[in-house]
Amino acid sequence: MSVLQIKLLGGFSVHLADQPLTKFRSDKARALLAYLAAQPDRDHARTTLATLLWGDLPDSSAKTNLRIELSNLNKLLADHPALVIERNSVRFQRTLATVDVVTFQDALTTFGGLPAEAQPTQLANLVTALDLYQGEFLVGFHLSDAIEFEEWQLLTQEQLHEQAMHALNLLQQRYAEQGSWAELATAARRQLALVPWQESAHRNLMQALATQGQRSAALDQYARCCAVLQAELGRRRLRRVYALIRGPEAQQNIRWCATIWPSR
């Protein structure tokens, strides 16, 4: 049996027997595979899948489209046993393929929390789990005509992001408690690569640098922190102004905006 690898974190890619699969019939086929692979070992009703991706079409047309996409997807995967297509449902077998998002969630669930006296091997295991989080779930992938799928994608993206951030926060806390400054700096930088405005990560990185005698680097990090936070505050204020201007009392809101965003 050929090895099937699916990556959904940081984008979308599929490899079968170490060869990339790119000739998907459509983005709907990619979305269908991502939906099934991210939720393995579940029987997904065909009617549910049809509505998920073609909710704007009559039931008969939606089911026909699903049947066509499943047939083509099965051929593209060379009838791989991980994809189980039955009369009324479709299932993706967890044990017959490697899916990064599934492995990531399994690792965090198995790992659980980090005790204050966490051993180096425990910390290393958490780092290994976080290595799988190469970016947001299906980042850059969009389906403009499948609202239910987009809602699921966004919800899953937010949940995975929160899980990664929680794990990174916990990892930094334990490194700081143990005085593992080089490791703390690495973990803080990893979090900042994902969320540049994470103030706690900036603080941890500055502390790690300063404690290691890198005072100049710590001061440079402080300057970067200030610049990033100021830019983020500016964006939030702009979004607030935009929302107010679009509000029902637009003219009154525009005059009020001038008081919080004075001209220069």
Task: Give CA–CA dist 173/184, Å, rounded.
Answer: 8
Tell whether the model's pLDDT for residue 71 goes beyond 90. Answer: yes
Q: Is residue 114 helix, strand or coil?
A: coil
Q: Which residue has the higher pLDDT, 227 or 36?
A: 36
pLDDT tens across 162-195, in order?
Answer: 999 998 998 999 899 889 999 999 999 999 999 8
Q: How many CB atoms lie within 10 A of CB 192?
A: 20
Task: Give CA–CA dist 65/125, Å, rounded.
Answer: 43
Task: Give CA–CA dist 86/84, Å, rounded.
Answer: 6
Q: Which domains does the chain have, with CATH numbers?
A: 4-98 (1.10.10.10)
Least confident of 77-91, 214-228, 234-248: 234-248
Average pLDDT over residues 103-131: 77
pLDDT tens across 42-57, in order?
Answer: 999 999 999 999 999 9
Q: Is residue 235 helix, strand or coil?
A: helix
Task: Give CA–CA dist 171/21, Å, rounded.
Answer: 35
Average pLDDT over residues 154-167: 93
Residue 244, pLDDT score: 52
Q: Which residue has the higher pLDDT, 41 or 247?
A: 41
What is the pLDDT confidence band of residue 205, given thresholds at 50, 70 and 90? very high
Contacts of 238 (CB under 8 A, 6+ apart): none
Q: What angle do CA 95, 82, 2 make, to 5 degrees?
A: 90
Per-chain mean pLDDT for the chain: 86
Average pLDDT over residues 150-154: 95
Residue 117, pLDDT score: 64
Residue 112, pLDDT score: 58
